[in-house]
Structure 1
Amino acid sequence: MTPANALALARGAAIPPIDADRTALLAFVADEESEAAIQAGLADTMAGAQIRRGTARTAARFLANEATPRVLLVDISGIEDPISALNELAAVCTPDVRVLVVGDRSEVSFYRELIRDLGVDEYIYKPLTRSNVSALFGPLVVPSTEKTVQRGSQIIVVCGARGGCGATTLAVHLALQLEATKGHIALLDLHLRGGTTAMMLATKVGNGLRVALEEPERVDPLFVDRMAATVQGRLRLIAAEEPFEAQPEPSPEGVMHLLDILRQRFSHVVVDLPNPPSPYERQVLAAARIPIVVFGPDLAGVRDAEATRKLITSVSPNSQPILVLNRLGAPGGMKLPLIIEGLGRRPDVIVPDLPRHLPRAANLGQASGAASASLRKALAPLTREIFGMRTDTSARPSILRWLLAR
């Protein structure tokens, strides 16, 4: 049996029962960012896992004298001949191992060679995110985990822990930054009364959203196209400005029908979600692939951020919410060490206070993201965390990255 054939056998092999002498998951990664993404994306399975620093060649040397794990994750970035390195790895592994690979090459032909010829179970192109690690590696690490198969684009929910923490501002500028990559982006504002996305983007909206949520039988793709307001380029806003005395009554069927249409017509759907969410809004949380919790540098914000995180995980147990601390350094706000102590962990993304950019832009109905380098820099970690893409929009996104993000 050749090394390549030994690795190929792993592709269709069932994961054997847990053995006391076998590590459930052993990972060798070359950088700290990838390690953090793997830990976050596979948080539910990390109790029986080991992560070491290194590449596929490091793994081959280590496993030459150690038992093969049930699942092996290796990094091939920076290796001149990755195929040879994987063959060397196969020679020291038992055939029933599942092999997951991360690397720095994005060619579709390379991906096919790994999957079809070598029998690698899955490959992800760097930079990794918790989302693609959870979606692509998660079912292979724990096959029994039940996950809802989502077809179409991914839904990103931005939820503020408290009012005034800046969740809508971040949702708007995240959508703008995504549109800069030439994607088809939908920004859905579910604040039917008192929402501010249309005002921030100087865009007029009608009553189509309320109709769509209350009377789904009237809604089809043409209806959605007509009610979606063009903001710029390929960014569309779906929002409402209902009077305060109005009593909208969205139906569960209405919100899911609208999401289904949006996911088929846009590459990404960013949802600005009220908190606490109503029963129909909880359906949006359950359908979200990437939930984001935004909170401010105050005691109540820290408390409610943790409460919101627990709510999201109760609605969607497989979700790993991204905690975004907004306005760090604001006058009178808590310092970062106290916030970390209150949360019991470091926030995933930290956005500094930008008092000279955001308030003025919001009051004038301008998109400050295009003009503020500080804001783009602050949002860059969030963009990378969600989509694994860099903020250099001049670089054309690879086909492989687009396939893996779906």
Structure 2
Amino acid sequence: MNALDLFRPAIANAEAVDLLAVFSDAASVGALRSLIADQAIANAHVQTGTIDDAIRLLRTLGRPPRQLLVDVSGSEMPLSDLARLADACAPSVSVVVIGERNDVGLYRSLLEVGVHDYVVKPVTVELLRRSLSTRDPSTPARAGKVIGFVGARGGVGATTIAVSLARHLSARTLRHVVYVDLDLHGGAASTMLGLRIGNGLTELLQEPGAIDSPSLDRAMTAAGDRLFVLASELAYETDVALRPGALANLANVLTRRFHYVLLDLPRRDGRGLEELFDVSQNVCIVTDRSVYAARECARIIRFAEEHSDNRDISVLLNNPLEPVADRVHAQDFKRALGSSVVHEFPYDPKSLARAENLGEPIGARAGRDGFAAAIERLADNLTGRESAAPPAWHTQLLKRWRSA
């Protein structure tokens, strides 16, 4: 590769950018170009521009860079701009902020909220070398949030709700989301998203060692700019014995790259449930208004209390069938389970039929009583609106900006 190819104004090979830098001045660009040439750094892209240009580039990349250098010089509201950057920035990205203020308080604040380093202009080759090469290994990397879904019984709509939430988080909150359909013999998620899939998820779960980026890229199927799917469609006669810890290993890799990891567990077997609770920060138990589902929901909650610690459990009371007499009344259901019931989903057959059969997002019905509105309320509840997933620095920067 010719060294000048690293500095084209547009990114030609979006899949291969590991170092992305956007500076406001030519001198800083020149310093980083010198460092790239001196150390023969491959897969780099550097250009002049603003933080808006950095955000645009992040959203066009096939995968996030490992390192991002962004310049806030001249920004009238740098904390607000960095908060917007966090929305487009995957959890795994190491962020270096370039600025003009030689402010120790600002430097400490940025480090506290997860920014890797703050470099004060004028930028030199040596400053950039130290900033890009030194990192305290004891400092934990930012990580995304894992949300698990399990149905109290078959047909309660767990996959419908989980797919709808994945679409909402990627489209409305502009976060990077991966949906993992753990029904290895062909779950409904791929059909609902209008995708053709292979057996990429099975291959990852059977990987004995660390999962690298190329393997992950090959296994995933894109369902949008920020939504990806991991699934399999094994032959029915194929038995798969997953090794213990395989799901935890996969979740650890995915949370370094995505803001939200949604796990859809098809069966309520003990081992599968235990691993789901082990790796998830929040588990959504989807149920309907049947006595059997209520009983199974209570059993799953007891199982969670006995086998996992510090996991938030949300019970989602869905109405997949037309309301008729003799079903468990919603209030009786809520009283039986106590405060665990968080959301009720309405009977909304027209919206769901088109979404499930044509692979389209659920259309919003007028008012606040439709299925799409219930998904939005669930998303707000799980994310806290500011998104607890990636950015401690995003949330705290917003707080500092609003109180300034």
TM-score interval, smaller chain:
0.5 to 0.7
Q: 2:189 aligns with which of 194, 197, 201?
A: 197
2:329 matched to 1:338? no
Deviates more, 1:335-344 or 1:308-317: 335-344
Q: Which residue of 2 aligns with 1:314?
A: 306
Deviates more, 1:274-283 or 1:246-255: 274-283
Q: Which residue of 2 aligns with 1:385?
A: 381
User: Partners of 1:342 and 1:368 in 2: how far apart?
Assistant: 31
Deviates more, 1:165-174 or 1:302-311: 302-311
8 Å Cα contact 1:161/1:295 also seen in 2:
yes
Aligned AA (1:401): T
Post-superposition offset of 1:235: 0.2
8 Å Cα contact 1:328/1:350 also seen in 2:
no
Aligned AA (1:327): N
Structure 1's unaligned 5+ residue stretches are 1-105, 123-148, 392-396
Post-superposition offset of 1:372: 8.5
Post-superposition offset of 1:248: 1.0
2:175 matched to 1:179? no
Q: Which residue of 2 aligns with 1:78?
A: none
Matches within 5 A, 1:6-405: 152-180=143-171, 181-217=173-209, 219-279=211-271, 282-327=274-319, 330-332=322-324, 333-345=327-339, 347-368=341-362, 374-389=370-385, 400-401=394-395
User: Partners of 2:243 and 2:392 in 1: how far apart?
Assistant: 39
Aligned AA (1:193): H
What secondary structure is seen at the aligned counterpart in 2 of 1:282? helix
TM-score, normalized by length of structure 1?
0.58
What secondary structure is seen at the aligned counterpart in 2 of 1:171? helix
- The 1:277–1:152 alpha-carbon spacing in structure 2 relative to 1, beyond 3 Å, is farther
Structure 2's unaligned 5+ residue stretches are 1-78, 83-103, 114-139, 399-404
- The 1:329–1:342 alpha-carbon spacing in structure 2 relative to 1, beyond 3 Å, is farther
- The 1:328–1:366 alpha-carbon spacing in structure 2 relative to 1, beyond 3 Å, is closer
- The 1:256–1:216 alpha-carbon spacing in structure 2 relative to 1, beyond 3 Å, is farther
Aligned AA (1:376): A
What secondary structure is seen at the aligned counterpart in 2 of 1:269? strand
Post-superposition offset of 1:365: 2.5
Deviations 1:382-405 (A, max 9, x none): 1111101189xxxxx99532889x
Aligned AA (2:360): Q
User: Partners of 2:396 and 2:363 in 1: how far apart?
Assistant: 24
Post-superposition offset of 1:205: 1.1
Q: Which residue of 1 aligns with 2:34?
A: none
User: Partners of 1:220 and 1:357 in 2: how far apart?
Assistant: 39
User: Partners of 2:175 and 2:321 in 1: how far apart?
Assistant: 33
Counting aligned pairs with the same residue, the percent is 29
Post-superposition offset of 1:305: 1.1
What secondary structure is seen at the aligned counterpart in 2 of 1:285? helix
- Number of aligned pairs? 263
Tell me which stretches of 4 or more aligned residues in structure 1 moved more than 6 Å.
106-109, 370-373
User: Partners of 1:304 and 1:263 in 2: how far apart?
Assistant: 30
User: Partners of 1:264 and 1:288 in 2: how far apart?
Assistant: 14
Superposed CA RMSD in Å reads 3.5
- The 1:292–1:400 alpha-carbon spacing in structure 2 relative to 1, beyond 3 Å, is same
